[in-house]
Structure 1
Amino acid sequence: MLTETDLITIRRELHQHPELALHETETHERLLTIIADFNQTHLQVRTLPELPTAILIRVTGSAPQRTIGYRTDIDALPVTEATGLAYASQNPGIMHACGHDVHMAVALGVLSYFAEHQPQDNLIFFFQPAEESENGGKLAYEMNAFEADWRPDEFYGLHDNPDLPAGAIGCRMGTLFAGTTEVNVDFTGKGGHAAYPQDANDMVVAAAAFISQIQTIVSRNVDPIEGGVITLGKLEAGTIRNVIAETAHIEGTIRGLTQTMIEHIDDRIRDVAAGIARSFNAEVTVSLNQGGYLPVENDPALTANFINYMKENESIEFIETAPAMTGEDFGYLLSKIPGTMFWLGVGDDAQLHSATLTPDESAIQAGVDAITGFMTYRMLH
């Protein structure tokens, strides 16, 4: 069974070799090598040819009544590390800036425990590629990765949180993470000379009107108690100051705490775009891409059970957290299989996706202990 020292060493090795979504080949091989050293008596390892960096491990239970799933993500971000650590990323421009190296170390610790201590229930561990982009959870599900003996009855997963004390567990009933949708809007009118606007159809003006009207969706069409976010982060139009722009392009993101809210915002964006097209006699095309980034909506019964265990365990610091507007593709899996996502505190001044993120490694063993304890408790309740 992996010790705390082992887990920290593994985490640092993974941290030095981060890889982007769907390109986690070295990470995949390293994970398989580590897992191969575990007691294999009750383990079955499976890879997916269609999703070659994914790994599934099934632990056969001694008297199974259910199958419990546990997911960890394995990809990194296109961020240039600025921590100055001796074990900093060796891959230029790529960093585990979201703490997935911590996630993997915790998952390996939990798996190594149950490899040595056969669980009562069956367990499925999913080492998932492509959480940061390309929605690897959705890809795996649509490839029938979770069929027959490989389908969990319930699914759990964590995300590290620098705002919580190292080793603390955070969770809440309802939505933990918002769902996200990518928004692309293209405007097509008629270009012309800046001195003769009457002979052109200016898409800078049309795009500006669209941007202004979009701001009213959250302020006037969304229940303030429920909340939502629309951020338009990119605008491209025109080539030179004295030419009226024939086209414009906008890119942005939607965040909502429920799928119903996201779909409501989607509909209002389409309505505004149609109105702008009519008002400006322009062609306006809206593309909305959610992929697998649905809201992470925790199952009521399973989450109540999880929270009760964490609260009642005196060795665990439990903190009830507010929902976050960040996205996580575990939401797609929870839309198909009931389960719970929770936070693991890693106590750091830097935020997720920061070039200086430096999680407190004492959180790793604390996370392993909390999860193995909960899973053992779950098998009896």
Structure 2
Amino acid sequence: MSTDGELFALLETHLPRANRLREQLHAEPELSGTESMTRDLVLQHLPPSGTPVTKVAETGAVVRIGGPGPAIGMRGELDALPISEETGAPFSSTRDGVMHACGHDVHLAALVAVAWTIHESDLDFPLLAVLQPREETYPSGALDISEDGILEEEQCAAMLGAHLQPILDAGTVACVPGGVNASADEFEILVHGTSGHAAYPHLTADPVLAMAGVIVALQTIVSRSVDPMTAAVVGVSSLNAGSAANVVPATARATGTIRAMSSTTRALLRSRIEDIASNVARAHGCAADVQLTSGEPVLENDPQLVEAVSKHLHARGLTLSTTLRSLGADDFSYFSERIPSAMLFIGSESSAHLHASDFLPTAADLRVTAQALLAGYLGAVERVRAGG
């Protein structure tokens, strides 16, 4: 059986090819739901699977590397973002207004390097490469895959993911048990009033004033309804009403986000938004309609899996963070609802942050991401074999 040192040395031999793949992926990004070429490119670079490739979620795929039996899943996201790149890199996006600004190109290339390492070693525990579309938009590609039944069919016993996170120092890996990313829902509030001439406000029911009251009152939910030791966000992000200075409009519209780190808090926030919008609007002689759109659940890292993975990360000499939690969201959480899972956050040498037009991870970031995923695989195998 190969030692850990031998496995990581083998991984090093695959990193140059993985870096070339990363540059090609970065230069040819595709938006959510259109990732067929990206999927096919990654499939071409994976080792021979010996089993048929399963196409999933329209533009995704699941590939078994190794023989039959329980397998360790590893997610790589296929999609890019509608952003115009400003990195100046020689492998910058060749597609106007589309860019890999969230590190998905790095995640995919690292997955390929790990897959080849496992393929060429004497490890006997299969890897399930999950090439997932639509991470950046709804409907979620992870939700489609998790509901497809393919993971159960392939006996996926644990799921791993890695995500670059430039708020961490380069070379640092966050491996944290429990909730690490928030649930993410959206809301739309329509306040209906009575329009009229702005010079005669007493003859109108002003939805703008009512909406202003609603927005201010929404800010009391986290400060007065949620335990102050609990993380949560209710934020209004867009506001639209009227088109003329001398006309009271008939409606006002606001949209926003709801973030929570537990299902209990999530339900509370949703309920309070509906109560506040309806009652504040009524106090102004208006009526409110609230539309809630459910997004990702809380992303929960399996504690036993995290413990096993952390041991291998430490053995590689990687700097570990055990505190990073974020109210950001990732649809990897749909996997963690069904399967023992671990999302690893990887520090980056980039001076820019995620979704910025100048976000550009380095080859060193790719190396750490691949090392973290291989350590994750080794820890997951231990956890599954231990029956945890």
Task: Report the equivalent of 2:220.
Answer: 216
1:87 alignment partner AA: F
User: In structure 2, what is the Cα distance between the partners aligned to 1:54 and 1:164?
Assistant: 30
Residue identity (%): 31
- Cα deviation for residue 316 of structure 1 reads 2.2
Residue 24 of structure 2 corresponds to residue 16 of structure 1: no
Q: For structure 1, which runs of at least 5 residues remain unmatched after alignment?
A: none
| TM-score w.r.t. length of structure 2 | 0.90
Query: Partners of 1:24 and 1:154 in 2: how far apart?
Result: 25
Q: Which residue in 1 is equivalent to 2:307?
A: 304
Where does 1:1-381 land on structure 2 (aligned, <5 Å)? 3-35=14-46, 38-41=47-50, 43-48=51-56, 51-61=57-67, 64=69, 66-117=70-121, 119-134=123-138, 135-148=140-153, 150-291=154-295, 293-311=296-314, 313-380=315-382, 381=386
Moved over 6 A (4+): none
Q: What does the per-residue CA deviation read over 1:73-122, in whole Å, with 9 as the maximum and x for residues that have no partner?
A: 11111111111111111111111111100111111111111222253223
Cα-to-partner distance string for 1:307-355 (whole Å, 9 max, x where unaligned): 23323x1432222232111111111221122211111222221100111
Displacement of 1:376: 3.1
Query: Does the residue aligned with 2:151 lie in a helix, a strand or coil?
Result: coil
Root mean square deviation of aligned Cα = 1.8
**Which SS does the other structure have where 1:336 is aligned?**
coil
CA distance in 2, matches of 1:377, 1:194: 67
Superposed CA offset, 1:227-286 (max 9, x none): 211111100001101001110110111111222212211111011022124313322111
Distance 2:120 2:376 in 1: 17
Distance in 1 between residues matched to 2:206 and 2:157, nearest whole Å: 55
Cα deviation for residue 44 of structure 1 reads 4.1
- Normalization by structure 1: what TM-score? 0.92
Contact in 2 for aligned 1:61/1:118 (Cα 8 Å) = no
Q: Is the 8 A contact 1:60 1:118 kept in 2?
A: no
| Aligned partners of 1:346 and 1:361 also within 8 Å | no
Cα pair 1:163 1:349 within 8 Å, conserved: no
Q: Alpha-carbon deviation of 1:357? A: 0.5
Residue by residue over 1:46-80, the C-alpha shift from the partner in whole angstroms, topping out at 9 and shown as x without a partner, is 113xx221010112348x5x422111111111111
* Count of aligned pairs: 371
Kept in 2, the 8 Å contact 1:176–1:342? The answer is no
Out of 200-209 and 339-348, give the one that drifted further.
339-348
> Unpaired segments of 5 or more residues in structure 2?
1-10
Q: Contact 1:18–1:89 (CA<8 Å) still a contact in 2?
A: yes
Q: 1:374 to 1:201 in 2, by over 3 A?
A: closer
Give the drift of 1:377.
Answer: 4.7
Q: Please tell me whether the aligned partners of residues 119 and 376 of structure 1 are also in contact (alpha carbons under 8 angstroms).
A: no
The 1:353–1:250 alpha-carbon spacing in structure 2 relative to 1, beyond 3 Å, is same
Cα distance between partner residues in 1 of 2:214 and 2:168: 39
